[in-house]
Amino acid sequence: MAKVEIYTKAFCGYCHRAKALLEGKQAAFEEYDITMGGPKRAEMIDRAGGRTTVPQIFIDGAHIGGSDELAALDRGGRLDALLAP
């Protein structure tokens, strides 16, 4: 499986939706909770080109975007290929 990283906050519906989609694909992911800010939030903003919204999703180091972008990849039939080993 590809390395999937997702930056999230508590009580974020979009974060929940993105994680549910990944779980449905049986994709393991590393989750970084940035609810309280800190160095992981700064890391996310840097990696995501200044974006401050959550979730921010990365697959094998490539920035995918948020929940909507992840869902669009799935609808377009491209997500499975990105998640493949």
Summarised one tens digit per residue, pLDDT across range 17-67 is 999 999 999 999 999 999 999 999 999 999 999 999 999 999 999 999 999
Which of the four pLDDT bands, split at 50, 70 and 90, describes residue 85? confident
Number of domains observed in the structure of the chain: 1
Partners of 55 in the beta sheet? none
Beta-strand relationship, 30-33 and 56-59: unpaired
Segments forming the whole domain that contains residue 72 = 4-83
In this predicted structure, what is the pLDDT of residue 17? Answer: 98
pTM, rounded to two decimals: 0.96
Q: What is the CATH number of the domain that holds 29?
A: 3.40.30.10
DSSP 35-61: TT-SHHHHHHHHHTTT--SS-EEEETT
**Res 47: pLDDT:** 98
Token pair 């999703």: residue: 57
